[in-house]
């Protein structure tokens, strides 16, 4: 079980904790089934961290333990230096948005947010101000007097997000924050979360890999209850050691104009390996990130291809998070 620091809350700030979130060999069993198996990772304060994995990977169970809904069977889990069960110490410092959170249908939006602010020990004199500010940040100021049951799905998600960030907590946990939203509302939700970068440590569990790649600084990829990869987004996508060039469909390997001369590309000093897949019309080039950056490699490779009259349709750094997850799970 995670250890609880019993020191006075007033003497503990997020700067005092070694990390915003820390898991050490956390295991969770349900009877004979092991849902999470010795998971360890650390989340630095002020960053956005992604929990990634297919269904059954252990994301929801890990998220639930971080939120304090479940207790680890083994291992240690800390939020700002405290166990998630240390409710008094984490009150107003930890915000949570569960995936299927339902707002009380008969409550007015403003009434609900003020009530939630008071539960977080925000003084009565400031609760109203904080609630209005939180609702304004999700562009829902006009909903103050509406009943929660009258809100659309997208509006309800915004109110739930306002509740999670109410009072500017140090750590905010978001479970599938854009699930079920139309593309425009999902985009707006992402912008809201990105605006909070640096102000709170944000942990996002989601199946939307493009969304996570756009928002997150780092992530852990889970599969069958174990961490199979973790690191910065650049490390996970190999953005600092691989570039990919998409060429015109039907382009062949060779030394004639309009063809991809793999041997010529391989002669570039900064290049480690070159692989050209004619079926996908994609060239993958790896390089030593300690010796050169991706932008320099891209410049030399594109110049080489243009000189050979190869038609280029796209360039990316790394494999992309989606492909990385597919390779690992």
Contact 138, 192 (CB under 8 A): yes
Closest CA to 162 of 226, 119, 109: 109
Residue 113's φ and ψ, nearest 5 degrees, are -65, -35
CA angle 156, 44, 67 (to 5 degrees): 40
- Residue 20 half-sphere exposure, CB side, CA atoms within 13 Å? 21
> pLDDT tens, position by position, for the chain (329 residues)?
344 333 333 334 444 456 899 999 999 999 999 999 999 999 999 999 999 999 899 999 999 999 999 999 999 999 999 999 999 999 999 999 998 788 999 999 999 999 999 998 899 889 999 999 999 999 999 999 999 999 999 999 999 999 999 999 999 999 999 888 888 888 988 998 999 988 899 999 998 898 898 899 999 999 999 999 999 998 888 878 899 999 999 999 999 999 999 999 999 999 999 999 999 999 999 998 888 999 999 999 999 999 999 999 999 888 778 878 888 88
Using DSSP bridges, classify how beta strands 226-232 and 218-223 pair: parallel, antiparallel or unpaired.
antiparallel
**15 burial type by CB count under 10 A (0-12 exposed, 13-18 middle, 19+ buried):** exposed
What are 204's strand-pairing partners? 50, 174
Distance of alpha carbon 187 from alpha carbon 113, whole angstroms: 24
Contact 276, 283 (CB under 8 A): yes
Model pLDDT, residue 18? 62
CA distances from 25 to 52, 242, 284 (A): 18, 32, 36
Instruction: Give the pair of three-digit tokens for residue 162.
Output: 């306002």
CA angle 215, 324, 161 (to 5 degrees): 25
Instruction: Give the pair of three-digit tokens for residue 104.
Output: 């009380």
Contact 203, 98 (CB under 8 A): no
Contact 96, 172 (CB under 8 A): yes
Model pLDDT, residue 13? 45
Taking the CA atoms of residue 51, residue 53, residue 59 and residue 63 in that order, the dihedral angle to the nearest 10 degrees is 10
Instruction: Give the pair of three-digit tokens for residue 292.
Output: 């050169």
Distance of alpha carbon 192 from alpha carbon 5, whole angstroms: 33
Instruction: Give the pair of three-digit tokens for residue 32.
Output: 């004979």
Distance of alpha carbon 40 from alpha carbon 64, whole angstroms: 15
Question: What's the pTM?
Answer: 0.81
Locus of tokens 């998409």: 246
Model pLDDT, residue 198? 87
Q: In 177-194, which positions are buried (b, 16+ CB within 10 angstroms) versus exposed (e)?
A: bbeebeeebbebbbebbe
What are 28's strand-pairing partners? 36
Q: Name the region of 121 (left: φ>0; alpha: ψ -120 to 50; beta: rest).
A: left
Model pLDDT, residue 2? 41
- Residue 10 neighbours by CB distance under 10 Å: 6
What are 230's strand-pairing partners? 220
- Coil, helix or strand at residue 75: strand
Distance of alpha carbon 319 from alpha carbon 237, whole angstroms: 5
């Amino acid at each position: 079980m995670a250890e609880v620091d019993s020191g006075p809350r007033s003497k503990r700030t997020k700067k005092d904790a070694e990390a915003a979130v820390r898991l050490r060999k956390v295991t969770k069993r349900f009877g004979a089934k092991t849902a999470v198996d010795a998971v360890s990772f650390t989340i630095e304060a002020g960053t956005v961290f992604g929990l990634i994995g297919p269904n059954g990977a252990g994301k929801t169970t890990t998220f639930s333990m971080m939120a304090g809904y479940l207790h680890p069977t083994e291992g240690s889990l800390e939020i700002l230096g405290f166990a998630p069960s240390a409710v008094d110490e984490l009150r107003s410092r930890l915000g949570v948005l569960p995936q299927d959170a339902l707002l009380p249908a008969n409550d007015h939006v403003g009434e609900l947010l003020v009530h939630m602010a008071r539960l977080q020990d925000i003084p009565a004199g400031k609760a109203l101000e904080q609630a209005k500010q939180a609702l304004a940040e999700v562009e829902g100021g006009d909903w103050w007097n509406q009943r929660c049951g009258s809100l659309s799905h997208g509006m309800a998600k915004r109110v739930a997000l306002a509740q999670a960030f109410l009072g500017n907590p140090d750590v905010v946990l978001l479970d599938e924050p854009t699930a079920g939203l139309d593309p425009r509302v999902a985009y707006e939700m992402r912008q809201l979360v990105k605006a909070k970068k640096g102000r709170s440590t944000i942990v996002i569990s989601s199946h939307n890999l493009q969304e996570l790649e756009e928002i997150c600084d780092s992530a852990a990829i889970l599969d069958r209850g174990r961490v199979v990869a973790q690191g910065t987004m650049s490390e996970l996508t190999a953005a600092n050691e691989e570039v990919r060039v998409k060429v015109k469909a039907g382009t062949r390997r060779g030394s004639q104009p309009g063809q991809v001369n793999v041997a010529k590309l391989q002669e570039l000093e900064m290049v480690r390996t070159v692989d050209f897949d004619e079926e996908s019309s994609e060239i993958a080039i790896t390089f030593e990130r300690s010796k050169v950056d991706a932008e320099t490699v891209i410049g030399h490779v594109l110049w080489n291809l243009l000189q050979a009259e190869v038609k280029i349709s796209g360039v990316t750094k790394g494999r992309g998070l989606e492909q990385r997850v597919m390779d690992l799970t």
